[in-house]
Amino acid sequence: MEIDHPESNEKASPNSIPAINLLMDPNYNLTLQEIARKFPKSVNKLIKGYISITADSEENRNNTLKYLNENDKEYILSERQEDRPLKIVFKNLPITHSTDLIKQDLKSKNFKIIRIGQLKDFKTNPPPHPIFLFEIAKTENSKNIYNIKTVNFLNVKIETYRKTNKATMCFKCSRFHHSARNCMRKAKCIKCAKNHETKDCPTKTKIDTPKCINCQETGHLASWRGCPKFPIITLPKNKPSYAQTENQPN
Ligand SMILES: [Zn+2]
Ligand SMILES: [Zn+2]
Ligand SMILES: [Zn+2]
């Protein structure tokens, strides 16, 4: 489990096999026994409440995943540094600018966009700066993104995204420290705490007095960065930061 910890990013060596982080259920020991029987060279280690399973080959990793899926186990995948998307921000676009238009433009320039969202700079209060966050798949071309001068005929400023000191919240299971693209846990809705993604919640309207599923207080949802239970992570440098808002429902 490294997703959110900048200091551990450096440890990932290019050829290492990414770990599978198993959620501990009452039968975790049986699961480990079975994995040890099938793949005796796997190494298991308790990390941040998950059992981090590292296979000795890509093939055994895939077979371990198959075994876990067949047995309905929940887990989170670690990700190789080189598989993580490039995160960049676009500045100076109008706040109401269509993200579809930006996508079309970037696609035509051969960039593979994974995700797009708008950010709020919480240090300027209000109005927020129009800042767009892009996750771009690392390809041969991806580094060229920094050479882009205009998008949709408008001058833009492109920068590397700097993390905030608040953790990533997974928009699938609503837990912290990992992204939905690596999440094989059951979905959990922050509006009603049922097993669906928040975006699929039957409650589509804004809730007047939302109850936070993490701190149990009323008045905010668990995605609110001011929630007392929202984890703060230690960043190496004191850089200005932006907060992510693209997954916050209503
Ligand atoms: Zn998740
Ligand atoms: Zn719901
Ligand atoms: Zn809360």
Percentage of the chain surpassing pLDDT 90? 40
0.75 exceeded by pTM: no
Q: Catalogue all structural domains in the chain, each as residue range(s) with its CATH number.
A: 20-77 (no CATH), 86-160 (3.30.70.330)
Categorize the per-residue pLDDT at 244 as very low, low, confident or very high, splitting at 50, 70 and 90: very low
Categorize the per-residue pLDDT at 225 as very low, low, confident or very high, splitting at 50, 70 and 90: confident
Q: Which residues surround ligand 1, an ion (CB under 5 A)?
A: 170, 172-173, 183, 185
**What is the CA(180)–ligand 2 centre distance, in A?**
17
- Mean pLDDT score across all residues of the chain: 82
Sheet strands (E) in the chain: 20-23, 43-47, 50-54, 75-77, 86-91, 113-120, 131-136, 150-151, 154-155, 157-160, 183-184, 243-244
Only one residue has tokens 């966009």, namely 113
Whether the per-residue pLDDT at 150 is higher than 70: the answer is yes
Whether the per-residue pLDDT at 233 is higher than 50: the answer is yes
Contact (CB, 8 A) for 184 and 74: yes
**What is the CA(142)–ligand 1 centre distance, in A?**
26
**What is the CA(227)–ligand 3 centre distance, in A?**
4
What value does the mean pLDDT take over residues 102-114?
A: 91
**What is the CA(247)–ligand 1 centre distance, in A?**
13
